[in-house]
Structure 1
Amino acid sequence: MKKIIAVFDGLRFSESTLQYTITLAERDGAHITGLFLDDFTYNSFDVYKMIREGATAEEIADFEMRDKIKRDKAGSHFESACQKAGLTCNVHHDKNVAIQDVLHESIYADLLVVGVHETFIQDKESLPTRFIRDLLAEVQCPVLVTPAEYTDIQKAVLLYDGEPSSVYAIKMAGYLLPWLKTMQVEVLSINEEETGNHLADNHLMREYMKWIFPDTIYKVMQGQPENKIVHHLHLQPANTLVVLGAYQRGMVSRWFRTSMADVLMEKLKLPLFIAHNK
């Protein structure tokens, strides 16, 4: 049985993250841990502003209690949804610094699911948020970054550039999401202009794919990778999962520098499966 961690902000609960997590667990019989990052530095109100405006300790404590009640209700809602789906689950309410807690917990997970808009601060941020960038840089397991709205996954586009990081991400998708083999799977590769339409390591790649996603379709294009990838993915239906190897440390892939994954989070509204070998 696999363990999936679903990351939640109890003050801004993501129904999309919940539904993606439940669907993944149902398809593979996984156990779910609902990780509620109740960061002690993060509230729904500006405590410093309240102090400047003369709020009493009792008034601040009342606001803190309201936040606690809301977070507890979010945890109960998560548990009820899992129970209704017939899934095993547990809840962690971590109260330290959010990014430190989630990175620590990711050591003991097979997959982590998190909404692309999560910030764990009061202010909204442009995508990708700092929390998501910091998470992807240091996380210890593959991550599914979910869009704001849920759509049932029925197709996968696997981004491949011949580098170990992209192969590793595809490998992890095969291990963690084996049900993808029953759906349409496409390998997308981009070559530089005038270098031809060959697939990097063509024989080895096709041989390997035959065992994990046997009915894979291959699409090789020429051009600037970022532009070609974004354009192609914009044409895909909302039920498409994108698989990529990104945010790796050490050797940098020809395509998947940090900025590539950032662009996909900024410009797409598709779920992203991101894995990197360290």
Structure 2
Amino acid sequence: MKKTIAVIDGLKYSESTTEYAVHVAKLTGSHLVGIFLDDFTYHSYKTYELVGGRGYVNEEKMERLKKSDDQSREEATQKFSIACQEAGINFNVHHDRNIAIHELLHESIFADLLVIESKETFTHYEEKLPTRFVRDLLSEVQCPVLVVPKNFTPFEKAILLYDGEPASVYAIKTFSYLYAGAPNMEVEVVSVKGIKDTLHVPDNHLMKEFMKRHFPKATFTVLRGDAENEIVKQLKGSSTNLLIVLGAYNRGMVSRWFRPSMADMLMEELNKPLFIAHHS
């Protein structure tokens, strides 16, 4: 049985993260763990709200606000647990109380998949996509990540972005291992080549031989032009509920066009879940 972890902010509970995580757990037969990052430095209130008229911290108000945060986190745990129980899946809950990003990176070592909403910040502030927290997570995470939009929509088709480089093949391979229990999912491999290049898939024979073993009904599409622009244009025009699979999100250039800016652009431009996997 695989292990999927869902990243939950108990002070800003994400229904979408829970819904996608439950959906994936049912689809893949995974055990689901809710990771509640109850970072001791993170509260719903700001420090200046605790300062009274004489410049002293109002201890009574601080205690009241802390209790309110504790209650919010408990309610979030209950919501997650009820959703898992109603779905009939195996689950449990972890409460990590140290620095959120450090705790999550450690948890990712022991997971097959991590699910997180694209807007998570674990701060008081809204940020444009991708948020700093998500960027830091994707740069160092030790398992594949499913970055999900705010609203849940069950995916019907997987788009596997492929440029012929090891990073993109690794992402597809990892995806195939996790979703081996979903043989009915429609799958399309999308590549982009230059205007003067042939329309053959990179490493055509080897790639199609590989795909026949993992997704025998997969179709192949080769686009021409700039990869980032053509992929966004192609995926924006789809009326199908898509899941997009792409390669490494590293600080360095690991793949020709599956670099951080590709994942960033897809998060900014498309309201769709992204399956992102590292290649070391």
Match of 1:228 in 2: 230
Q: Which amino acid aligns with 1:34?
A: G
Match of 1:50 in 2: 50
Per-residue deviation, 1:246: 2.5
Q: What SS does structure 2 have at the residue aligned with 1:181?
A: coil
Match of 2:67 in 1: 65
**C-alpha separation in 1, matches of 2:193 and 2:160:** 15
> Quick one: which of 199, 202, 206 aligns to 1:200?
202
**C-alpha separation in 2, matches of 1:180 and 1:32:** 17
Match of 1:163 in 2: 165
Per-residue deviation, residues 111-152 of structure 1 (Å, max 9, x unmatched) = 000000000000000000000000000000000001001011
Q: How does 1:1-278 map to 2 (within 5 A)?
A: 1-51=1-51, 54=55, 55-237=57-239, 239-248=241-250, 252-278=254-280
Q: What SS does structure 2 have at the residue aligned with 1:131?
A: helix
**C-alpha separation in 2, matches of 1:200 and 1:46:** 53
Per-residue deviation, 1:181: 3.2
| Number of matched pairs | 278
Per-residue deviation, 1:250: 5.7
- Contact (CA 8 Å) 2:167, 2:248: kept in 1 or not? yes
- Contact (CA 8 Å) 1:152, 1:239: kept in 2 or not? yes
**C-alpha separation in 1, matches of 2:107 and 2:11:** 20
Per-residue deviation, residues 152-184 of structure 1 (Å, max 9, x unmatched) = 111011000000000000001100012443122
For structure 2, list consecutive stretches of 5 or more residues without a partner in the other structure.
none
**C-alpha separation in 2, matches of 1:150 and 1:193:** 37
- Contact (CA 8 Å) 2:37, 2:96: kept in 1 or not? yes
- Contact (CA 8 Å) 1:43, 1:67: kept in 2 or not? yes
Per-residue deviation, 1:52: 6.2
Q: Which amino acid aligns with 2:39?
A: D
- Contact (CA 8 Å) 1:246, 1:261: kept in 2 or not? no
TM-score normalised by the chain length of structure 2 = 0.96
Per-residue deviation, 1:28: 2.1
Q: What SS does structure 2 have at the residue aligned with 1:91?
A: strand
Q: Which amino acid aligns with 1:213?
A: F
Q: What SS does structure 1 have at the residue aligned with 2:34?
A: strand
**C-alpha separation in 2, matches of 1:52 and 1:228:** 56
Q: Which amino acid aligns with 2:129?
A: L
**C-alpha separation in 2, matches of 1:59 and 1:240:** 47
**C-alpha separation in 2, matches of 1:202 and 1:180:** 25
Per-residue deviation, 1:65: 0.8
Per-residue deviation, 1:237: 3.0
**C-alpha separation in 1, matches of 2:24 and 2:105:** 21
**C-alpha separation in 1, matches of 2:207 and 2:130:** 31
- Contact (CA 8 Å) 2:194, 2:225: kept in 1 or not? yes
Cα 1:8–1:196 change in 2 (3 A) is same
CA-atom RMSD in angstroms: 1.4
- Contact (CA 8 Å) 2:5, 2:115: kept in 1 or not? yes
Per-residue deviation, residues 85-118 of structure 1 (Å, max 9, x unmatched) = 1111111111111111100000000000000000
TM-score normalised by the chain length of structure 1 = 0.96
